[in-house]
Amino acid sequence: MTGGRRVWVIRWIGLALILAAAPGVPANALVVPQELAGLRLAHSQQGAEARAEIERLHGKSIPISDGYVAHYGNQSPAAMLYVSQAQDEKVAQRQVEQMTARIRAGNGPFTHLRESTRFGMTVFSTLGEGQVHYYFRRGAVVVWVAADPTIAQQALADAVSKLR
């Protein structure tokens, strides 16, 4: 390698290291997919807004450190993603168990609760409010997918693949 080329390579490596160390989006930050089941992202809430919406839906405070609520499509068919990052896997598992128990109790709008193994993990499905709902846990992240029946399975598949 010539002297000029070596200087150029060293500068590029230095720039890459500076950019990698610069503040920005954390490596484990939750990223909102721009499309789900062929539908473009219509709008989303993150941070405190998302937390407030998730807590409103549950009717109580939920111990989450990050999350978002995303709406896809502006008319039917439509889909939504509710994604929350718990403090650790045990807390996320407890959250899924509590949701499952509440749905099984039959006190809310959800019926026909099912548990299955899909995509190598446990996925719960239920019906309610004219939509198919799926929820699952991946590590410390809890995901709820709500979608019109015609796109529900594709919305689930996309959520699983895009939230890796």
pLDDT at 70: 95
Share of the chain above pLDDT 70, in %: 80
Q: Strands of the chain (E only): list them.
A: 35-36, 39-46, 64-72, 79-86, 111-118, 121-128, 131-138, 141-147
pLDDT one-digit tens code per residue, 16-37 = 333 233 334 444 578 999 999 9
Share of the chain above pLDDT 90, in %: 64
pLDDT one-digit tens code per residue, 105-147 = 998 899 999 999 999 999 999 999 999 999 999 999 999 999 9
116, containing H or E segment: strand 111-118
Domains of the chain listed by start with CATH number: 33-162 (3.40.1000)
Helix (H, G, I), strand (E, B) or coil at 31: coil
Q: Is the pLDDT of residue 51 over 80?
A: no
Confidence of residue 58 (pLDDT cuts 50, 70, 90): low
pLDDT at 105: 94
Q: Is the pLDDT of residue 1 over 80?
A: no
Average pLDDT, the chain: 83
pLDDT at 61: 67
146: its two tokens: 């709500």
Q: What is the CA radius of gyration of the chain?
A: 20
Is the distance from CB of 83 to CB of 57 less than 8 angstroms?
A: no
